[in-house]
Amino acid sequence: MNRRLPGTRALITFEAAGRHLSFTRAGDEVGLTPAAVSYQIKEIEDQLGIVLFKRTSRSIQLTPAGAVLLEAAADALNTLQRATSRARRLARGSSHLRISLSARFATNWLLPRLPQFRASNPNLELTFDISDEMRDFEVDDIDIAIRFGTGRYEGLCSERLFDTVIVPVCSPKLIESGARLEEPRDLLQHTLCYVDWRTDGMIWPNWRMWMAAAGIEDFDDSRCVGFSDSSHVVQAVSEGGAVGLADLDMIATDLSQGRLVRLFDIGVNVAKDYAYHLVYPERSRQDPTVLAFREWVLNAATQPIEPATLVSGQHFSRPRRRHRHLRDRG
């Protein structure tokens, strides 16, 4: 049998080059220079005795033979990836659960509660894939995921964890400075920051929305400071003396430990279709490890860490789960 076949690394490089039709973009993907990609392709061509690409000074195109090999290489690599994922699951055993979740959710929600999980599930080991991307459960060696979105994922089970409520917060230092914060309109005298983000027509709650919920209709948001990530909002609040809009469940530990203080008993919901969801494959419905984590996380989602009560200043109320929904924006 003729076994003169390219190695796996060479096939990965070829598949990327054929998919992108660019040695430069393929090199960016696989961590090689364009010249190194071109050299690997030339080695494959010499090894097989086949011309895979038509090259010009400005572009490359697959030859008919190259197109046949690209399809086969993509199928082979996909099969190998899926088999590797299954092999890894078998190797780590049934008491080991691998969870995919964002760094924000891991740091601010899961890790503070992890001792509770370990106490109730001492024989179950957890490891984490920190990513904002929705993983392929068949390829990426993932058992279960926590994702923010609409929860509509084809072929997967998805269970809503909790609503996302956005509230104003400040640093205790701002209160200690004697700043006037007795009513929502007092916030107009402060630097106001928020997460400036929208997707598929959904706008993350901003200060104009919160002020409307507080009954302030003439709010000018031109001086608000928008950040791309909530961690930057929290940093600006903690270090810069700003007042920020933050996700209540993601700052529960900061509130309970006194690093942040919630201002006023007014919160604005993220659009009702969007929330954090627990996501797992249909085939895992009866998996004991998945079921154990599912039961724990759904229960934990109903028992938020209780923030401490601010004792200096009666105008600051103990955070409650009462809040207003976003208005229908037509």
Residue 287: which CATH number?
3.40.190.10
Q: At what angle do helices 34-48 and 23-30 cross, to 10 degrees?
A: 100
Q: When comparing pLDDT for 249 and 58, which is higher?
A: 249
pLDDT number for residue 3: 59
pLDDT of residue 218: 86
Do the domain assignments include residue 313?
Answer: no
Tens of pLDDT along 268-298? 999 888 999 999 998 888 888 999 999 999 9
- Indicate the average pLDDT of the chain: 85
> 39 is written with which tokens?
């050299």
Q: Give the pLDDT score at 307.
A: 47
Whether residues 293 and 144 fall in one domain: yes
Residue 68 has pLDDT above 90, yes or no: yes
Residues 174 and 123 in one domain: no
pLDDT, mean of residues 244-249: 94
264: containing domain: 165-269
pLDDT at 320: 36
Q: How many domains does the chain have?
A: 3
Cα R_g (the chain), whole angstroms? 26
Domain check: are 104 and 171 in the same one? no
Residue 230 included in any domain: yes
Same domain, 175 and 259: yes
Is the per-residue pLDDT at 314 higher than 70? Answer: no
Same domain, yes or no: 262 and 279: no
| Least trusted range by pLDDT, from 73-82, 222-231, 239-248, 258-267 | 73-82
**In-domain check, residue 310:** no
Phi, psi dihedrals of residue 102, rounded to the nearest 5°: -75, 155
d(CA 261, CA 277): 27
Which stretches of 93-229 are DSSP H helices? 103-105, 111-120, 172-176, 207-213
Residue 308 has pLDDT above 50, yes or no: no
- Specify the pLDDT at position 226: 95
Tokens of 316: 């600051």
Confidence of residue 2 (pLDDT cuts 50, 70, 90): low
Q: Is the pLDDT of residue 33 over 70?
A: yes
Residues 85 and 117 grouped into a single domain: no
| Mean pLDDT of all residues in 200-209 | 90
- Of 71, 89, 107, the one marking the end of a domain is 89
State yes or no: pLDDT of 92 exceeds 70. Answer: yes
Within a domain: residue 323?
A: no
C-alpha distances (whole Å) from 138 to each of 111, 145, 151 are: 26, 13, 19
Q: What per-residue confidence (pLDDT) applies to 86?
A: 74
**Residue 72 lies inside a defined structural domain of this protein:** yes
179, 50: one domain: no
149 & 294 share domain: yes
Tell me, what DSSP letter sits at residue 317?
P
On whether both 228 and 255 belong to a single domain, the answer is: yes
Instruction: Tell me whether residue 311 is in a domain.
Output: no
Torsions phi, psi for 96 (to 5 deg): -120, 120
Is residue 308 a part of any domain in this protein? no
pLDDT the model gives residue 305: 57
Share of the chain above pLDDT 90, in %: 58
As a whole number, mean pLDDT of residues 307-320 equals: 35
Question: In this structure, are 288 and 139 located in the same domain?
Answer: yes
pLDDT tens by residue, 37-63: 999 999 999 999 999 999 887 889 999
CA angle 135/139/143 to nearest 5° reads 65
Partners of 226 in beta bridges: 194
119-139: average pLDDT: 88
- The more confident residue out of 161 and 57 is 161
Q: Does residue 102 share a domain with residue 74?
A: no
Tokens of 318: 């103990």
Residues 173 and 260 in one domain: yes
- Residue spans of alpha helices (H) in the chain: 8-20, 23-30, 34-48, 64-92, 103-105, 111-120, 172-176, 207-213, 230-240, 252-256, 288-301
pLDDT digits (tens, 9 = 90+) for 73-86: 998 888 888 777 77
Rounded Cα distance, 162 and 326, in Å: 16
